[in-house]
């Protein structure tokens, strides 16, 4: 893989100061730089000049102060599992690897909240919580860091019931681009005290500061959980069943769609035998009676739309297997074409347009030889494609770009968004302007105000 392409001379003085500050927790080793040059997407890797591993917010502040003085780019780095090139060091600089800040600082079962350092992963937090009967619901496919999930406004399969990072983050500790440590809010569930600084940083993709601590809402593990898979004769019927479910007010915990290609992929990858057909993965949370009632109603709706081959599971072990298969969807897709690179993309539309949007997208995919399974959090009207491409074939890159552009423009024409949960990073920058028009100038004004030197993850979300 390539290293950074910055023409500037190597910022030796800044690097020396960082090395002095961090000792062995500073590195310019080739393999370390390579690891921090890319995320899990197809975007062209570009390495930072150095990587540092702070252990406290104070150290992060010192690092940012040094970088600020030397006008050196700062790229916050978690598990490296972003999907739009968010951690690629397009202008060199320092990657701040947050994974040594992985302490769970506080859990309050009474208040149903916890404070964690940015490097704590979602699975680590849930392991820690399990014995207390609590869980943290946001679950992107990867076992991402909660700092990274905050920065990209991550979402997942539970969002239809429990919300995304936008809803579950209560407060943040942040290092600002000038190296101050700031807390965005108190721990109360509601507040009307001033501008919503918390939501300002949720989804800012490292461009406004480094998130070092996150206070999140937790939820009680429900008394009863029931999950199911249901097959449909065609994707339109599956989507129509989802729309009726959401509109009827049935409170699903999860409602996920996989198309027949994605089912084929997970069957092969996870040794499963799901019927190869568009399939909904469902889950209900509540009391025993409540879950029974919801499941029965949902069953009726699915049958109305031709749903069949219901498989119900309630034991935790069986449910885990079912959802692991769903979470592995991207890896399973990748395995469909050995040696390929993934170009994942996602859009989100008003649910009244979801069936039409997916149908038009499927039609589009019939015109290409590039495999592109569909999976989606359809309860939120958010769905994903993964283009499986040969990264060394310019024609395939161009073809994926063409299909992606058509997908995004289709979603925008339906009053949807260019990304429901992956964020903008490098991959959706052009579309951000199409989506927001003049509002991107407001974003620029805010960026300019908070980071006048443009050191924080420069070149992401929008050009300055």
In the complex, minimum distance from the CB of residue 385 to a copy of itself, in angstroms, rounded to a whole number: 16
| CB-based burial label for 250 (10 Å; 0-12, 13-18, 19+) | middle
Does residue number 20 form part of the binding site for a copy of itself (CB under 8 A)? no
Residue 182 interacts with a copy of itself (CB under 8 A): yes or no? yes
When asked if residue 351 is in the footprint of a copy of itself (CB under 8 A), the reply is yes
Crossing angle for the helix pair 394-413 and 354-365, nearest 10 degrees?
160
In terms of CB distance, is 104 or 224 closer to a copy of itself? 224
For the CA atoms of 328, 334, 335, 337, the dihedral, rounded to the nearest 10 degrees, stands at: 160
Could you tell me how many residues of this chain bind a copy of itself (CB under 8 A)?
92
Q: Which of residues 271-330 bind a copy of itself (CB under 8 A)?
A: 286-287, 289-290, 293
In the complex with a copy of itself, which residue's Cβ is closer, 152 or 279? 152
Tell me if 167 contacts a copy of itself by CB under 8 A: yes
Question: Which of these segments, 70-78, 276-284, 306-314, 376-384, binds a copy of itself (CB under 8 A)?
Answer: 376-384
Closest separation in Å from C-beta 40 to a copy of itself: 16
Beta strands 113-117 and 104-108 are antiparallel
Residues 125-154 close enough to bind a copy of itself by CB under 8 A: 152-154
State which of residues 219, 269, 310, 331 lies at the interface with a copy of itself (CB under 8 A). 219
By the rule CB under 8 A, 179 interacts with a copy of itself: no
Among positions 400, 424, 455, 456, the unique one binding a copy of itself when judged by CB under 8 A? 424
Query: What HEC string does the chain produce?
Result: CCCCCCCCCCCHHHHHHHHHHHHHHEECCHHHHHHCCCCCCCCCCCCCCEEECCCCHHHHHHHHHHHHHCCCCEEEECCCCCCCCCCCCECECEEEEHHHCCCEEEEECCCCEEEEECCCEHHHHHHHHHCCCEECCCCCCCCCEHHHHHHCCCCCCCHHHHCCHHHHEEEEEEECCCCCEEECCCCCCCCCCCCCHHHHHCCCCCCCCEEEEEEEECEECCCEEEEEEEECCCHHHHHHHHHHHHHCCCCCCEEEEECHHHHHHHHHHHCCCCCCCCEEEEEEEECHHHHHHHHHHHHHHHHHCCCEEEEEECCHHHHHHHHHHHHCHHHHHHHCCCCCEEEEEEEECCHHHHHHHHHHHHHHHCCCCCCCCEEEEHHHCEEEEEEEECCCCHHHHHHHHHHHHHHHHHHHHCCCECCCCCCCCCCCHHHHHHHHCCHHHHHHHHHHHHCCCCCECCCCCCCC
Identify which range of 26-34, 72-80, 275-283, 424-432 contacts a copy of itself by CB under 8 A.
424-432
State in angstroms the smallest separation of the CB of 45 from a copy of itself. Answer: 22
* Piece in contact with a copy of itself (CB under 8 A), picked from 25-33, 35-43, 173-181, 306-314: 173-181
Task: Restricting to residues 394-413, name those near a copy of itself by CB under 8 A.
Answer: 411-412
Among 249, 271, 338, 339, binds a copy of itself (CB under 8 A): 249
Q: Does 159 bind a copy of itself (CB under 8 A)?
A: yes
User: Quick one: which of 10, 20, 448, 464 contacts a copy of itself (CB under 8 A)?
Assistant: 448
Q: Tell me whether residue 266 or residue 429 sits nearer to a copy of itself (CB atom).
A: 429
Residues in 52-91 that interact with a copy of itself by CB under 8 A: none
Nearest distance from C-beta of residue 32 to a copy of itself, angstroms: 29
User: Using the rule CB under 8 A, which residue among 349, 386, 426, 456 binds a copy of itself?
Assistant: 349
Handedness of CA 364, 367, 368, 371 (dihedral sign): positive
Q: Measured from the CB of residue 222, what is the shortest distance to a copy of itself in angstroms? A: 7
Q: Which is nearer to a copy of itself, 75 or 149 (CB)?
A: 149
Site for a copy of itself in 98-127 (CB under 8 A): 108-113
Residues numbered 189-218 forming contacts with a copy of itself, rule: CB under 8 A: 189-197, 199-200, 202-204, 208
For position 418 contacting a copy of itself by CB under 8 A, the verdict is yes
Q: At closest approach, how far in Å is the CB of 419 from a copy of itself? A: 5
> In the complex, what is the shortest distance from the CB of residue 437 to a copy of itself, in angstroms, rounded to a whole number?
7
């Amino acid at each position: 893989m390539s290293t950074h392409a910055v023409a500037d001379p190597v910022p030796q003085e800044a690097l020396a100061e960082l090395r002095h500050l961090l000792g062995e927790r500073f590195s310019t080793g080739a393999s370390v730089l390579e690891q921090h040059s890319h995320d899990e997407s197809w975007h062209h890797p570009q390495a930072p000049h150095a990587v540092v591993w702070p252990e406290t917010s104070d150290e992060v502040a010192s690092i940012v102060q040094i970088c600020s003085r030397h006008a050196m780019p700062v790229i916050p780095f978690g598990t490296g599992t972003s999907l739009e090139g968010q951690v690629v060091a397009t202008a060199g600089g320092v990657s701040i690897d947050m994974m040594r800040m992985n302490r769970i600082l506080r859990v309050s079962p009474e208040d149903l909240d916890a404070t964690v350092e940015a490097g704590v992963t979602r699975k680590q937090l849930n392991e820690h919580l399990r014995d207390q009967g609590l869980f943290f619901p946001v679950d992107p496919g990867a076992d991402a860091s909660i700092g990274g999930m905050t920065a990209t406004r991550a979402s997942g399969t539970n969002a239809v019931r429990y919300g995304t990072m936008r809803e579950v983050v209560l407060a943040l500790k942040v290092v600002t681009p000038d190296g101050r440590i700031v807390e965005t809010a108190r721990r109360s569930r509601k507040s009307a005290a001033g501008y919503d600084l918390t939501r300002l940083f949720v989804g800012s993709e490292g461009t406004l500061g480094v998130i070092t601590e996150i206070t999140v809402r937790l939820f009680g593990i429900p008394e009863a959980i029931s999950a199911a898979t249901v097959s449909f004769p065609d994707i339109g019927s599956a989507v129509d069943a989802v729309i009726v479910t959401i509109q009827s007010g049935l409170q699903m915990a999860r409602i996920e769609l996989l198309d027949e290609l994605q089912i084929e992929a997970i069957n092969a990858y996870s040794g499963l035998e799901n019927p190869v057909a568009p399939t909904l993965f469902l889950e209900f949370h509540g009391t025993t009676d409540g879950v029974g009632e919801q499941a029965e109603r949902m069953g009726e709706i699915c049958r109305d739309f031709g749903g069949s081959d219901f498989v119900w599971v309630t034991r935790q072990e069986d449910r885990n297997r079912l959802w692991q298969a769903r979470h592995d969807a991207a890896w399973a897709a990748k395995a469909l074409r050995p040696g390929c690179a993934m170009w994942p993309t996602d859009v989100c539309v008003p649910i009244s347009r979801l069936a039409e949007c997916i149908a038009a997208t499927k039609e589009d995919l019939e015109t290409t030889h590039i495999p592109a399974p569909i999976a989606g959090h359809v309860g939120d009207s958010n769905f994903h494609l993964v283009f499986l491409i040969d990264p060394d074939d310019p024609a395939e890159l161009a073809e994926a770009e063409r299909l992606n552009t058509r997908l995004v423009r289709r979603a925008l024409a339906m009053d949807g968004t260019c990304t429901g949960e992956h964020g903008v990073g490098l991959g959706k920058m052009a579309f951000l302007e199409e989506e927001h028009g003049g509002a991107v100038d407001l974003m620029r004004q805010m960026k300019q105000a908070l980071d006048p030197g443009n050191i924080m993850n420069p070149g992401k979300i929008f050009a300055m």
